[in-house]
Amino acid sequence: MNCNKAKQIDLVSYLKKQGFKTGKTTSNEVWFYSPFRGEKTPSFKVDYLKNVWIDFSDHKGGTIIDFVMKYNECSICEALVILSEKSFSFHQQPKYRSVNKKPTYSINKITELTNQRLLDYLTNRKINLQFAKRFCFQVYYSFSNGKELYGIGFMNDVGGIEIVNIYSRDYRKICLGKKEITTINNNSNVVSLFESWSDFLSYLTLKKQIPQESFIILNSTSLAKKAISLLHDYSIIKIFFDNDEAGNIATNLLIENYQNKVIDNRIHYKSYDDLNDYLMKPK
């Protein structure tokens, strides 16, 4: 079982087979009573055509892989094993193709981070490997031009994968799938925001632990506006963006919307490009 095959499993059929109760159903969507909590009004929606879900109670969503990871509190590798063991009894998701949109890549395999060169890359950037292995994985993928590559992957909220390839200049940093932010909810009133997963892991490395905070990784400062609607319930908003124009714009945007809640932590590494640059260089 790989990610492509897993995403072909019909999510509605999967949820029904697990015994989750449905609510309103239309030609395009099915509402479920949330699998994650008891509720009187269904807040968990599945889009038939896109084969993705969204839980409106906590603003989380994604593919069937994301659901299995969250429901079973497991890694992406463990989720694929779970789906592999059960998928024989589920229908495949019907294929809806667009004449204008053709996939230019395929994900061939996802594993835990074990490749020594990738681990050496992270070590050279002073990133703690224990944290890296918890939040990242090893992705083997190929393009329609026949080029086969592999790199370090980090998943966003809709199943897209941020890739860092340490060998190819042309494909060094790309996103396979839709570009989106990554949220990690630890039920805290404090949230820390980062531009990239490497800065997020640098923060954990500096802290030497995972703090009792929630985290939002933008994966691109162009997605800063999307984070605004997710910040209402936090009393403290900590920002760790880059020290460049894009970082300034994203920081100012959040300050404009949450003036008294925002703490701009860039003051602690103002002489460095970003948080990972601060971690790497002697102080």
Amino acid 283: pLDDT: 66
Beta strand extents in the chain (DSSP E only): 22-25, 29-32, 44-47, 52-55, 60-62, 105-111, 137-143, 148-155, 161-164, 173-176, 182-184, 190-194, 214-217, 236-240, 262-264
Q: Are strands 161-164 and 173-176 parallel, antiparallel or unpaired?
A: antiparallel
Residue 220, token pair as written in the block: 């691109």
Burial class (CB in 10 A: 0-12, 13-18, 19+), 208: exposed
Indicate the fold that domain 182-280 takes in CATH. Answer: Dna Topoisomerase Vi A Subunit; Chain: A, domain 2 (3.40.1360)
Amino acid 89: pLDDT: 46
Q: What is the rounded CA–CA span in Å between residue 54 and residue 37? A: 14
DSSP 188: -
Please, which residues bridge with residue 225 across strands? none
- Give the CATH number of domain 3-89: 3.90.580.10
Amino acid 98: pLDDT: 41
Q: What three-state secondary structure class fits 164? A: strand
Amino acid 97: pLDDT: 42
Q: What is the rounded CA–CA span in Å between residue 177 and residue 158? A: 9
Q: What's the pTM value of the predicted model, to 2 decimals?
A: 0.64
Contacts of 126 (CB under 8 A, 6+ apart): 202, 205, 276, 279, 280
Q: What is the rounded CA–CA span in Å between residue 271 and residue 280? A: 13
Q: What three-state secondary structure class fits 118? A: helix
Q: What three-state secondary structure class fits 76? A: helix
Q: What three-state secondary structure class fits 272? A: coil
Domains of the chain, residue spans: 3-89, 105-176, 182-280
Comparing C-alpha atoms, which of 163, 165, 164, 203 is closest to residue 184?
203
pLDDT tens digits for the chain (283 residues)?
677 788 888 888 888 888 888 888 876 788 888 888 887 888 889 988 888 998 887 777 889 998 988 888 888 877 887 887 655 444 444 444 444 444 577 888 888 999 999 999 999 999 999 999 999 999 998 877 677 889 999 998 888 889 998 876 555 788 888 889 999 988 899 999 999 999 999 999 999 999 999 999 999 888 899 899 899 989 999 999 999 999 999 999 999 999 899 999 999 999 999 999 999 987 6
Amino acid 101: pLDDT: 46
Buried/exposed code over 167-189 (b: 16+ C-beta within 10 A; e: otherwise): eeeebeebebbeebbbbeeeeee
Burial class (CB in 10 A: 0-12, 13-18, 19+), 226: middle
